[in-house]
Amino acid sequence: MTIMENQRSTPTGKPAVVDLSTWQAARDELLVREKAHTHEGDAIAAARRRMPMVEIDGGTEVVGPGGPVPFIELFEGRDELIAYKHMWHDGAPIQGQCEGCTVSAWHLRDAVYLNARGVAFAILTEGPWDEVLPYLAFMGYTQPWYSVRGLDWPIGGPMGHFTCYLRDGDRVFLTYDITGRGTEAASGSFALLDMTPYGRGEAWQDNPDGWPEGQRPCWYWRQDASGEPTWDTSRPAPQWTRPGATPVTELGRHEHHH
């Protein structure tokens, strides 16, 4: 086959076109790897359930809509608690908050299936409550949020984490924590995009030659009115399309403090 013929049979930027039986063979081959990946994930989860735990002070006060409350109240009487720890940039406008944490929190607007398994859910943030409250109102979040400003790990501490806790009566324990790519478990859109030919559209992807050029992570969160990924004139495009979202009068980056 000549180079020209190959280019015609495999259009630039698109998967090769084949008959159904050839496609099925490729699908069956990949399925072997996918099943191995699933089984390894199950084995890792089994090992996770066998990890030890660390007792922490359940009386430590966090700040919620009703003021300070002891951390143990976040369990809402349940035995388990999963918390997402949301980064906060002091004094930043709404669109200036953390892109990655916003993506996670946006995917976590409903925890009924966690609650059905006896697992409480809360979002913890290092932001001061007087800044957090209007942010929650604008975004339309109804999940429990609490400020853990000034508190040490494992109740406060580094943000951008999922942290799991277990309650045994009036005692509270740290059982698990994950960050980085591990937080993708919250965002089902990532797994669905990974099923598509073009994936997430991010620059780190291993793409075939000729695929659309990727952009930086979270480009879908910061876009200007033309759809270009920017910071200075950006807004959280996916979220702000919802009914009732009001425009902001201020765009741009503020000084961020942790």
Residue 21's CB: how many other CB atoms inside 10 A?
A: 7
CATH code, 171: 3.40.30.10
What's the token pair of residue 116? 């059905």
Reported as a pLDDT band with limits 50, 70 and 90, residue 137 is: confident
The structural domain count of the chain equals: 1
Cβ(37)–Cβ(48) below 8 Å? no
Residue at 111 is within a domain: yes
pTM as predicted: 0.85
> Could you report the per-residue pLDDT of 180-219, keeping only the tens digit for each?
999 999 999 899 999 999 998 888 899 999 998 887 776 6
170 CB contacts (<8 Å, ≥6 apart)?
Answer: 58, 72
Residue at 177 is within a domain: yes
Reported as a pLDDT band with limits 50, 70 and 90, residue 112 is: very high
Residue at 84 is within a domain: yes
State the number of CA atoms in the 13 A half-sphere of 12 facing the CB: 5
Residue 90: alpha-carbon gap to chain centroid? 21
Residue at 13 is within a domain: no
**Residue 11 confidence (pLDDT) above 50:** no
Residue at 24 is within a domain: no
Q: Which domain holds residue 133?
A: 51-183
Lookup result for tokens 């979220």: 239
Residue at 8 is within a domain: no
Residues comprising the chain, all counted = 258
**From CA 113, how far away is CA 155, in angstroms rounded?**
24
> Could you report the per-residue pLDDT of 36-67, keeping only the tens digit for each?
999 999 999 999 999 999 999 999 999 999 99
Residue at 193 is within a domain: no
Residue at 72 is within a domain: yes
